[in-house]
Amino acid sequence: MENTHPYTVLAVDDNLLNLKLIEKSLSKEGYHIFCADNGPDARSIALKKRPDLILLDIEMPGENGFDVIKKLKEDAATNAIPVLFLTGVSEVDAKLKGFELGAVDYITKPFHPLEVLARVRIHLKLSIATNSLIQDQAAKLRQVTKAQVAMLPLPEEYPNAKFGVYYKALQEAGGDFYDILNISDNITGYFVADSSGHDIETSYMTASVKALLAQNCTPVYSPAESMKMINDVLLEILPQGKYLTACYMHINRTTMKLTIVNAGHPPVVCLPAKGDAFLIKLDGDVLGIFPDASFGIKHINVSKGDKFFIYSDGLVESAENKITWATGAGSLLPVFSSLGGVSYDKAPMEIISQLFGNDSFPEDDVVLLCIEV
């Protein structure tokens, strides 16, 4: 059997006798001890060694314990390490300040080695239990994420649909999704939606809406009728306050006719085979709120090589810069216009690269479809 990796403790005290006492009492119980007699060294060791727990003296010359824990908690690499204060200070205010800065407990000097051992054990048990719970929850959320992503169609699965896609969920439970519908050999439906909220309940809506699309987006119904029927069902199944903004685009490559149905979603961008990009603005009610919802509908004659872009508001909006899709969509047109020579499968990534580069990221989930006629 392999040896279990020992739990590590960082002891920080400017009194070398205290350090030796802690090291001796804990190491004989199987703990691996790192020692530091000042704040900067303590932070350096914490960053490099990532100990399981830190015993931190409050009163040290230069950088005191309060300064150290504040900096540890500001660093993502060390902020989850439990910190116990070693203190000879009896004032309540000092202890409260330690708790406010993130300490989990304190040990009063002069301390007894058995008390140190007992408190280290207690807080390591709590840390182990907390980390186990976090890992369990994260694993479940990853399963939700994988299940949601697995439901999203890939371009290689629908070669006749001629689309490229960029999809990014910022949280485990993404609110944006899309679907591709083979209505017939030459008729394809493209659907992009943005659900209100980003909780687990929202992510499960993807499967429900996909089922509704498959049932209702058929040659029997017009695109507007399909969205009307989907809205009627969503009124029955969505929890109070939940809704979807959506755009449904229906292309008939035999008649070269395109229909757009907009349900409170950002405008589609059209990039003609010859010419500059322009917005197709349509007003429409969101899905799942109004029994008598009215959608924006547009019928367009298209030509071979025309490109259309459907996207969620995360591509445009910025809370930091106070930009909404209503005010910001037009500003993207030069970017879309620059893609005339870019293939439809590479266009989404090119747009993301131009808008965000390597230095910034979208503030919300993003779906971006590029469709070529």
- The answer to whether residue 326 scores a pLDDT higher than 80 is no
The pair of three-digit structure tokens given for residue 179, joined into one six-digit string: 């679907």
pLDDT tens figures, 243-293:
899 999 999 999 999 999 999 999 999 999 988 999 999 999 999 999 889
Residues 202, 205, 206: CA angle, nearest 5 degrees: 110
The percentage of residues in the chain with a pLDDT greater than 70, rounded to a whole number, is 85
CA distance 297 to 303: 19
CA distance 139 to 160: 36
Helices (H), the chain: 16-27, 39-49, 65-74, 92-100, 113-150, 200-216, 223-237, 325-328, 333-337, 347-356
CA distance 370 to 269: 9
For 136, other C-beta atoms within 10 Å of its C-beta total 10
> Between the CA atoms of 237, 240, 246 and 251, what dihedral angle is there, to the nearest 10 degrees?
20
- pLDDT score at 137: 55
- pLDDT score at 200: 52
CA distance 366 to 351: 12
Domain boundaries, the chain: 8-142, 151-372
**Bridge partners for 56 per DSSP:** 12, 85
Q: Which of 16-20, 132-136, 250-254, 345-349 has the lowest mean pLDDT?
A: 132-136
> Would you say 33 and 57 are in contact if contact means Cβ atoms under 8 Å apart?
no
Q: How confident is the model at residue 1 (pLDDT cuts 50, 70, 90)?
A: very low
Tell me which residue has tokens 């009492």. 25
Mapped onto helix, strand or coil, the DSSP state of residue 8 is strand
- The answer to whether residue 211 scores a pLDDT higher than 90 is no
* Residue 51: C-alpha distances to residues 35, 100, 113, 183 (Å): 11, 21, 20, 58
- The answer to whether residue 46 scores a pLDDT higher than 60 is yes
Close Cβ partners of 88 (under 8 Å, ≥ 6 residues apart): 58, 59, 108, 109, 110
CA distance 144 to 138: 10
- pLDDT score at 197: 62
* Residue 65: C-alpha distances to residues 19, 62, 71, 233 (Å): 15, 10, 10, 59
- The answer to whether residue 132 scores a pLDDT higher than 90 is no
- pLDDT score at 341: 87
Fold category of 151-372 in CATH: Phosphatase 2c; domain 1 (3.60.40)
Mapped onto helix, strand or coil, the DSSP state of residue 327 is helix
Distance of CA 266 to the CA centre of its chain: 21
Mapped onto helix, strand or coil, the DSSP state of residue 257 is strand
Tell me which residue has tokens 């910190």. 83
pLDDT tens figures, 308-323:
999 988 887 665 666 6
Q: How confident is the model at residue 344 (pLDDT cuts 50, 70, 90)?
A: very high
* Residue 74: C-alpha distances to residues 78, 167, 202, 272 (Å): 8, 31, 32, 50
Mean pLDDT across the chain, nearest whole number? 86
For 184, other C-beta atoms within 10 Å of its C-beta total 11
- pLDDT score at 175: 72
**Class at the top of the CATH hierarchy for domain 8-142:** alpha beta
Q: Which amino acid is at 124?
A: L
> Would you say 288 and 234 are in contact if contact means Cβ atoms under 8 Å apart?
yes
Mapped onto helix, strand or coil, the DSSP state of residue 268 is strand
Regarding pTM above 0.85, the answer is no
